[in-house]
Structure 1
Amino acid sequence: MRKSALFSLLFILGTTLQAQYTETINSNRPGQSQGAFAVGTNVIQLETGAYFGNDEHSAFASTTDIWGIDYQLRYGLLFENLELNLTGAFENQDISRNFLGTPDESTVRNFKSNTIGAKYLIFDPYKSLEEDKPNLYSWKANQRFKWKKLIPAVSLYAGANFSFGDNPYLYEGEGKFSPKAAIITQNNWGRWVLVMNFIGDKLSEEYRSYTAMATLTHAISQKFAVFGEYQSIWSDIYADDLVRAGAAYLVGKDLQFDVAGLINFKDTPSRWQVAAGVSYRFDLHKMDEFLEDSNEGNKRRRRSEKFGRENENEVEGNGDRGQ
C-alpha cells in the first residue's frame, strides 16, 4: 500500500514538472555542492577525480599527507525531475606524530564515504513563473531589476550513508548506516550560476553534522568556466570553514575536465588540497522526451548550436586559407 502511494505521488509530481535534460553535460564538479537540476531520464553520468593535500594539526602535533579518489555516479530515472546518485571517496592518510618528543607514523586507508540517494526538483521558477513581457512604452521599466530573478529552483535530497567491514574512518560507536538529507537551491543569471546546499548528515548518530555550501560559477566562454565555493561545517567532532576555487573545460557536449584547490583558516587542523577530475555523460536520452519549455535546456541548446556554428565557420575559414 505504501509503495503504491509513493509511486502515485512520484507520478503526479513527474507529470506536473518539466524536463531537466540539457544538450551539454551538467556536472556537479569541480565543487562539492549538488546542483538543483537532474541529469535527465536515461542519462548515465560519471564524475570522478583524484586529489592530494596535507592536514597539519597544531594541538596534536601531527602532519597528515592525503591522497584519494572521489566519484559520483548519476542516473535519471522515470521522470525528468528525478535523479539517483552514488557519491563516495576512497582516501589514504599517512600520519606522522611527535608526542612529547616521541615520533610515530601510521597509515589509514579505506572508503571515507559512500552515500546512495535521490534528488527531486520540486520547483523551477524558469517555468513556474510567468516570463515578463517587454514594456513597449518605457525603456526604464524594461531595465528595472526584477525581484523574482532572486527566486531559485529548489530540489530535495534524501540518502543513506553506508560502510562495510572495519572502517577506520568511522568514529567509535558510529553505525554503518545513517540517513542524510539536503535542501538544494539554484539561481541561473545568464553567465552566472549560484548553487546553495543545506545538508544534515548522519542524522541517526550521536554526532550529527550540518553543512552549508554556496557555489558561484561564471562561464567565461562556451567551453571555459571558473568557480568559487564556501563551505561551513558544524559538528561536535569537527567544525571548519573551507574555501574552494577552480575551473572547468568543456570538450564536446558530453565530456568535461576540471581542476580545483582548497584551503581553510585554522590550525586544528590547517588544510590544503588540490584536485583534478573528469565528467563524462552516456547520453541515452530520447529526443522526444525533450520538452521545449525547459528554460535551462533551451539555453544550453542555444549555446551548443552557437558553438557548432563557430566550429563550422572555423573549418570553412581554414579551408579558404588552404586554397
Structure 2
Amino acid sequence: MTFKTQLIFTALLALGLQANAQYTDEINSNRPGQSQSAFAVGKSVFQVETGVNGVYEKHNILNNTAKGVTTDLALRYGAFDESLEFMADMQYRFDLYEDAIYSYNRNDFSKFVLGAKYLAYDPDKNYNPKPDLKSWWANRRFKWRTLIPAVAVYGGVHVMSKGPFTFPEDKTSFKGMVILQHHFGRWVWVNNIIFDKVGTTYPSTNWITTFTHGLSKRASGFLEFQAIKSDYYADAIARVGGTYLIHEDLQVDASISGNFKDTPSVLYGGVGLSWRFDADYKDILIGGKGDREDELKAEQEKQKKEQEKHKKDRKAAREARKKELEQPMGPAEP
C-alpha cells in the first residue's frame, strides 16, 4: 500500500468515527467536495465558492508528470423560484508538464460550465409528522420514509475554448446530472449521477457519492468517492476534508484527494472559502415540517439548558468561595 493510499484511508477512518448535523439556515456550500447538493441557495441569494489546490500527477507507464496549481470559482444565484438556481463553475490551471523529452508550462481554463439546477422533489414539503405522546421509542426509531431522497436535476454547457487541457476535436458540449439527497437524522448523503462532455468524442459517465456530518457546532467533515468512466479515461478518486463555519454566511474549508492507480497517479490538496450574500432574501413559508426541524429545536433547547446549568454552577462556586473567605480566621498558633 502506497503512502498516498495509507493517508487517504487514515483520514477516512478518522472522520468516519464522529457525527453531528448541518442545517439549511447556514450557508449551503458544495465545497470542498465535487458533488452538488439537491437544494438551491434560495431566491435572490448570491453565493461565491472559491479555492486553491496543489496538483501532482504522475503516469508510470508514459513516464510523465504534471505539477501545479488550480484555482476554482463557482458563482451561484437563486432566481424566480426557491427551487431554481443558476451557476457558473470555473477552474483555471497552471502547471509544469515534463516527460522524457519535453518540459513546458501550461495554463488555461480546465473547466468552464454554465448551468442551472432545479429541485424537482422535496420529501419534507407538505409533510407534517405528529409525535407519539405515549411512546418515546416510537418517536426515536428509524423512519423508513427517510429512504425517500430529495431529487434535483441539473443541465449545463461547457463553453471552454481550445487549450492544453482539451482534445483538439472538442467543441461546445453538454452536461446533465441527477442529484439525490438523503437525510438520516444527523447524516446527509448525496449522490450525483453525471453525464458529461455529451456531444464530444469522449463523453463520460460519473458517479459521486458524499457523506457529510459535523464534528462540532461549527466544524464538519465529509467523505467522498467518485467513479469516472469513458472510452479515454477511467478512474476512482477518494476525497476527505472538512469545513469551519465562521458565521452563518461564511465558511472555510480544506480537503485532500487521491486515486488508487498509477496510470496516472493523482494527488490534490487545497483550501477554500464560501461566502453568501442574502440581504435581499425574504422568508417564504413552505407547507410541511420535516424531521430536521424537531431535531434542531431539541438541540437548541439542550444547549440552552446546558448554558443555564453552567451559569448556576459558576454562581454556586462563587458564593461558596465568598462564604469561605468571610469566615473568621482562628487564632494564630504560638
Q: Same fold (TM over 0.5)?
A: yes
- Tell me the CA shift for residue 189 of structure 1: 2.0
- Tell me the CA shift for residue 155 of structure 1: 0.2
Q: Do 1:23 and 1:297's aligned partners in 2 also have CA atoms closer than 8 Å?
A: no
Secondary structure of the equivalent of 1:79? coil
Q: Give the corresponding residue for 1:149.
A: 146
Q: Do 1:64 and 1:95's aligned partners in 2 also have CA atoms closer than 8 Å?
A: yes
Deviations 1:151-180 (A, max 9, x none): 11000001111023x4222202111x1111
Secondary structure of the equivalent of 1:148? helix
Q: Give the corresponding residue for 2:205.
A: 210
- Tell me the CA shift for residue 295 of structure 1: 4.0
Q: Give the corresponding residue for 2:117.
A: 119
Q: Give the corresponding residue for 1:55.
A: 57
Q: Give the corresponding residue for 2:169.
A: 173
Secondary structure of the equivalent of 1:149? helix
- Tell me the CA shift for residue 81 of structure 1: 0.4
- Tell me the CA shift for residue 149 of structure 1: 1.1
- Tell me the CA shift for residue 308 of structure 1: 10
Secondary structure of the equivalent of 1:180? strand
- Tell me the CA shift for residue 150 of structure 1: 1.0
Q: Give the corresponding residue for 2:6.
A: none
Aligned-residue Cα RMSD (Å) equals: 3.1
| Alpha-carbon distance in structure 2 between the residues aligned to 1:76 and 1:200 | 23
Q: Give the corresponding residue for 1:276.
A: 271
| Alpha-carbon distance in structure 2 between the residues aligned to 1:305 and 1:53 | 41
Q: Aligned to 1:184, which of 176, 179, 182? A: 179
Q: Give the corresponding residue for 1:86.
A: 88
| Alpha-carbon distance in structure 1 between the residues aligned to 2:205 and 2:276 | 31
Q: Give the corresponding residue for 1:162.
A: 159
Q: Do 2:113 and 2:159's aligned partners in 1 also have CA atoms closer than 8 Å?
A: yes
Q: Give the corresponding residue for 1:12.
A: none
| Alpha-carbon distance in structure 1 between the residues aligned to 2:91 and 2:294 | 33
Q: Which runs of 5+ in 2 are unaligned?
A: 1-22, 319-334
| Alpha-carbon distance in structure 1 between the residues aligned to 2:211 and 2:157 | 27
Equivalent pairs, count? 293
Mapping of 1:304-315 within 5 angstroms? none
Q: Aligned to 1:131, which of 124, 129, 132? A: 129
- For residues 308 and 160 of structure 1, do their structure 2 counterparts lie closer, same or farther at Cα, with a shift above 3 Å needed? farther
Q: Do 2:68 and 2:96's aligned partners in 1 also have CA atoms closer than 8 Å?
A: yes
Mapping of 1:249-288 within 5 angstroms? 249-288=244-283
Q: Do 2:128 and 2:289's aligned partners in 1 also have CA atoms closer than 8 Å?
A: no
* Residues 147-156 or 122-131, more deviating: 122-131
| Alpha-carbon distance in structure 1 between the residues aligned to 2:71 and 2:283 | 37
- Tell me the CA shift for residue 130 of structure 1: 5.2
Q: Are 2:115 and 1:96 equivalent residues in the alignment?
A: no
Q: Are 2:22 and 1:27 equivalent residues in the alignment?
A: no
% identical equivalent positions: 37
Secondary structure of the equivalent of 1:287? coil
Q: Which runs of 5+ in 1 are unaligned?
A: 1-20
Which consecutive segments of 4 or more residues in structure 1 shift more than 6 A?
303-310
Q: Do 2:126 and 2:289's aligned partners in 1 also have CA atoms closer than 8 Å?
A: no
- For residues 253 and 303 of structure 1, do their structure 2 counterparts lie closer, same or farther at Cα, with a shift above 3 Å needed? farther
Secondary structure of the equivalent of 1:207? coil
- Tell me the CA shift for residue 291 of structure 1: 3.8
Matched AA of 1:26: N
- Tell me the CA shift for residue 194 of structure 1: 0.5
- For residues 122 and 308 of structure 1, do their structure 2 counterparts lie closer, same or farther at Cα, with a shift above 3 Å needed? same
Deviations 1:55-109 (A, max 9, x none): 01011101110211011111010100001011110011211111xxxx4201211
Larger Rg: 2
- For residues 171 and 22 of structure 1, do their structure 2 counterparts lie closer, same or farther at Cα, with a shift above 3 Å needed? same
Please give the TM-score of this superposition, normalised by the length of structure 2: 0.79
Q: Do 1:246 and 1:258's aligned partners in 2 also have CA atoms closer than 8 Å?
A: yes
Please give the TM-score of this superposition, normalised by the length of structure 1: 0.81
Q: Give the corresponding residue for 1:46.
A: 48
- Tell me the CA shift for residue 293 of structure 1: 4.0
